[in-house]
Amino acid sequence: MFSLVSSIQPPMVLHFLLVLLGLYLLIKTVTVLLEFSWRLTSSNNEVLPPSSGGFPLIGETLAFLAANNSREGLYDFVKTRRLRYGNCFRTRIFGETHVFVSSTGSAKAVMASDSVGFEKRYMRSIAELLGEQSLLCMSGELHDVLRHRLSGLFTAESLGSTIKHFDALVVEALKEWKEREAVFVLEEAMKITFNAICKMLISKERVEELEKMRKDVAEVTEAMLAFPLKLPWTRFYRGLKARKRVMDTLRNIIKFRRQRLDHPKDFLQSLLMKGESPFDAPLTDAKIQDNILTLIIAGQITTASAIAWMVKYLDENQEIQETVRAVNFPLKSKDPDTLLGLDVLSEMTFASKIVKETLRMASIVSWFPRVALRDCYIEGYRIMKGWIVNVDARSIHWDPTVHDEPTKFHPLRFNEDSTKPYSFLAFGTGGRTCLGMNLAKAMLTVFLHRLVTTYRWELIDKDSSLEKGALFPRLRSGCPIHVTPT
Ligand code: HEM
């Protein structure tokens, strides 16, 4: 007996497969539609957030990917729908229902420490690149224990020494900027932040080793928003390969570290040892590796992108640039070898407001995804269990009812305690607040201080469009400047 498929001719096989595919798509579409209409009616005609719909099954995935590949950047997908539907809308991306909310009230409802109805959730492909044991991909108790362990590393002492190292790298880099026609701030900042963070985490300083790892980490990051297709020519596949190389390097460093008697004082060493509290067991090597990679990725591009935006905003706001130069000049030490400490940074109050205003305007992490653990209501709309609710920080930062004249670069808006609750979300809030917040702010302040007290600059390319496919909004131009000594 021949099977049905092998007894028919090749063109018929094709037809047969097409009919099967058609049937499959039809059944799937009907199922999704039925599920939707069931949900609509079963909730007593309660109103769901307005939705832009999109195609059956794929929803608006194509529009989302197109925005990611445009000069307006990924956020443009959210912005256009927010303008059309208001503070709360619904869409379907990569097979999941996403809701975007953009009021301070909904930010509180979703992100406050005591909000138990939501949990952070990243796409599975991101978890594959960062590692299953990454802090970013964990939730619940596992997250709390690991977060406690990692936050113990960000002491004032370690912050102080990392900042001194970062300062030394900035001073060194700035020295040769005057020789160049154009300095690409983003690229320079990427190198400096990477090297400073690697020194803090694993005491790596050898230039060639750092360069190799920096390229691998960049490939991992580039793969994070790519379509998760594991074929040799895809960006996702290349990212996984690069992750493997980073993991191998970290594994060797850990192995070598275990054999050594003289240990450098860094994050890795603290993680290899037992912590102070009884819950602080030594972490497994795999967990350490995943989290070192996570800290590098979470800290490097975010901080470097913010540095480039700050340089651009200060170029566009010369008066503010002159003011911070005048205020900071007296803090410049007579001794060129004196590196900045946390005490001096705490005196730079105007500079720290510039940093905050940069972070508000640039909104480097534009929205925060959380999965709804049960059915609930937000902004009067019904939210179903399993939907992903994204708090749209960028909209809140640019909302004229939250911040006066939001398009204006105005650092003094952060005078005293004038900001409203949940109005400044550059580092998130609640139980998932950025672990490197103080470090990032300090790095930005150091960079600002050194730049304004060493040089004046002219932005060569004033274009504000964004790099395609970037995980965070980054200037496509790379922020090229020409400097002249002050
Ligand atoms: C300007 C620079 C930075 C910005 C704008 C930024 C922003 C953020 C935001 C918004 C979150 C929370 C995301 C959410 O709630 O979904 C976050 C989390 C995190 N950040 Fe940062 N970050 C920066 C720098 C850093 C640095 C320098 C490090 C460490 C070296 C770091 C490590 C982390 C980690 C580990 C988390 C996850 C915390 C958790 O899930 O418990 N970040 N960051």
Q: What is the per-residue pLDDT across 392-414, written as a single tens digit (0 to 9) for each?
A: 999 999 999 999 999 999 999 99
What pLDDT is recorded for position 68?
87
Residue 437 has pLDDT above 50, yes or no: yes
CA distance 361 to 408: 9
Ligand 1 centroid vs 359 CA: distance in angstroms?
13
- pLDDT tens readout for residues 83-138: 999 999 999 998 899 999 999 999 999 998 777 799 998 778 889 999 999 999 99
Give the range among 36-50, 59-73, 187-201, 437-451 with minimum mean pLDDT.
36-50
pLDDT in tens, 305-351: 999 999 999 999 999 999 999 999 999 877 777 999 999 999 999 99
Degrees, nearest 5: CA angle 292-362-452: 90
In the structure, what pLDDT confidence band is assigned to residue 213 with cuts at 50, 70 and 90?
A: very high
pLDDT at 2: 32
Strand segments, DSSP code E, in 286-438 are 367-372, 376-378, 381-383, 388-392
How would residue 53 be classed by pLDDT, with cut points 50, 70 and 90? confident
Whether 466 contacts 69, CB under 8 Å: no
> Taking a C-beta distance cutoff of 8 angstroms, is the pair 82, 100 a contact?
yes
Supply the pLDDT for residue 275: 64
Could you tell me if 173 and 447 are in contact, meaning their C-beta atoms sit under 8 angstroms apart? no
With beta carbons less than 8 A apart as the criterion, state whether 250 and 286 touch.
Answer: no
Residue 412 C-alpha to ligand 1 middle, in angstroms? 24
Beta-ladder partners of 390:
100, 369
Which of 419 and 145 is assigned the larger pLDDT?
A: 145
Under 8 Å between Cβ of 473 and 366: yes
Best residue for ligand 1 mutational test, from 434, 435, 474 (most atoms within 8 Å of Cβ): 434
For residue 468, give the nearest of 476, 460, 477 by alpha carbon: 476
Which residues have C-beta atoms less than 6 Å from ligand 1?
A: 120, 135-136, 147, 197, 294-295, 298-299, 302-303, 306, 359, 364-365, 368, 426-428, 432, 434-436, 439-440
Residue nearest to atom 16 of ligand 1 (CA): 368
Rounded CA separation 327/341 (Å): 18
Whole-number Cα distances in Å, 452 to 184, 188, 223, 262, 326: 16, 16, 35, 40, 9
Does 434 belong to an annotated binding site? yes
| pLDDT of 378 strictly over 90 | yes
For atom 1 of ligand 1, which residue has the closest CA? 303
The Å distance, Cα 39 to ligand 1 centre, comes to: 36
**pLDDT of 387 higher than 90:** yes
